Amino acid sequence: MKKIYLYGNWKMNMTVAETKKFFEGFSSQYQPYKNDAGLEVGVFAPFTSLWALADCAKNLGIVFGAENVYSEDKGAFTGEVSIPMLQEIGIKYVILGHSERRHIFNEPDEMIAKKVKAVLAAGMTPILCYGETLEEREGGNTFKVMERQLKSAIDGLSADDVKKIIYAYEPVWAIGTGKSATSEQAQEVCAWSRNLIGIKDVVILYGGSVKGSNAKELLSMNDIDGALVGGASLKPDAFIEIYKAYKA
Shortest distance (Å) from residue 175 CB to ligand PGA:
4
Phi first, then psi: give them for residue 167, nearest 5 degrees.
-95, 140
Convert residues 6-25 into a mask of x (bound to ligand PGA by CB under 6 A) and - (unbound).
---x----------------
d(CA 171, CA 191): 15
**Got the DSSP string for 103-168?**
HTS---HHHHHHHHHHHHHTT-EEEEEE---HHHHHTT-HHHHHHHHHHHHHTT--HHHHHHPEEE
Shortest distance (Å) from residue 84 CB to ligand PGA:
26
Convert residues 99-128 into a mask of x (bound to ligand PGA by CB under 6 A) and - (unbound).
------------------------------
Contact status, residue 145 vs residue 136, Cβ threshold 8 Å: yes
Shortest distance (Å) from residue 227 CB to ligand PGA:
8
d(CA 190, CA 168): 9
Q: Count CA atoms closer than 13 A to 156's CA, side-chain side.
A: 10
Is 98 a catalytic site residue? yes
Shortest distance (Å) from residue 98 CB to ligand PGA:
6
- Binding residue count for ligand PGA, defined by CB under 6 A: 13
Contact status, residue 65 vs residue 95, Cβ threshold 8 Å: yes
Q: Which entry of 67, 98, 107, 136 is annotated as an active-site residue?
A: 98
Nearer to ligand PGA by Cβ, of 116 and 215: the residue is: 215
Q: Which residue is nearest to ligand PGA (CB)?
A: 230
Q: Which entry of 107, 132, 136, 170 is annotated as an active-site residue?
A: 170
Convert residues 126-165 into a mask of x (bound to ligand PGA by CB under 6 A) and - (unbound).
----------------------------------------
Shortest distance (Å) from residue 159 CB to ligand PGA:
27
Shortest distance (Å) from residue 44 CB to ligand PGA:
9
Q: Residue 224: helix, strand or coil by DSSP?
A: coil
Tell which positions 176-235 bind ligand PGA, by CB under 6 A: 176, 207-210, 228-232
Tell which positions 161-180 bind ligand PGA, by CB under 6 A: 170, 175-176
Contact status, residue 154 vs residue 160, Cβ threshold 8 Å: no
Helix (H) or strand (E) holding 20: helix 16-30
Nearer to ligand PGA by Cβ, of 86 and 97: the residue is: 97
Contact status, residue 125 vs residue 166, Cβ threshold 8 Å: yes
Is 138 a catalytic site residue? no
Q: How many CB atoms lie under 10 A from the CB of residue 30?
A: 18
Instruction: State the residues that interact with ligand PGA by CB under 6 A.
Output: 9, 170, 175-176, 207-210, 228-232
Enzyme catalytic residues: 98, 170
